[in-house]
Amino acid sequence: MQLTLHADYAFRILIYLGSQPDGHVVSTEEISQSYGISKNHLVRVVQTLNQHGYVEVFPGRSGGIALARPANRIRLGDVVRAAETNLKVVECFDETTNTCPIVPVCQLKPILGEALNAFLAVLDKYTLADLLGSRHRNGLVKLLALSGARK
């Protein structure tokens, strides 16, 4: 049970942008180099984050991306709901593709649904700002700069 890379990268992008000075525009190239992850994949995640109003995209050679709202208005549970491409904990969560024959009477699905809601409810208690306390922010900036410089 693992988040897809799409959701994982969504968090990484938001953390990167949140650790910058307010409104600072960053290229996806820079983020890709700092984390050592595929720029092509990153661009698709940026599209998702843009569609859901989390990042603003500035086109052009000197363009890039920035947070589209304050970090304390980005709930982590909502990021998962927006960016996780697969929240079907087991096959029967998708009725169109389910093949399990016992689904009409099986009690597992509602229990797994309750567990998934509990997972998201914990994430809803936190915002991006909780990941960016001053101590952590300084550490993030240093580690990301170091990592980017090494590429």
How many beta carbons lie within 10 A of that of residue 14, not counting itself? 23
Q: Which one of residues 2, 40, 97, 134 is an interface residue with a copy of itself (CB under 8 A)?
A: 2
Q: Which one of residues 65, 72, 139, 149 is an interface residue with a copy of itself (CB under 8 A)?
A: 139
CA distance 119 to 138: 29
The answer to whether 146 contacts a copy of itself (rule: CB under 8 A) is: yes
- Residue 127 has φ and ψ, to the nearest 5°, of -120, 175
Segment lying near a copy of itself (by CB under 8 A), choices 21-29, 41-49, 52-60, 109-117 = 109-117
Residues 32-71 that bind a copy of itself (CB under 8 A): 34-36
Position 100, amino acid: C
Cβ contact 14:68 at 8 Å: no
Residue nearer to a copy of itself on the CB measure, 51 or 86 = 86
Question: If residue 67 lies in a helix (H) or strand (E), which one and from where to where?
Answer: strand 64-67
The answer to whether 136 contacts a copy of itself (rule: CB under 8 A) is: yes
The answer to whether 87 contacts a copy of itself (rule: CB under 8 A) is: yes
R_g over Cα of the chain: 18
| Least spacing, CB of residue 53 vs a copy of itself, in Å | 21
Structure tokens, 30: 């820079």
CA distance 25 to 124: 27
Q: Which residues bind a copy of itself (CB under 8 A)?
A: 1-4, 7-8, 11-12, 15, 34-36, 76, 80, 84, 86-91, 99-102, 104-108, 111-112, 114-116, 118-123, 126, 130-131, 133, 135-136, 139-140, 143-144, 146-147
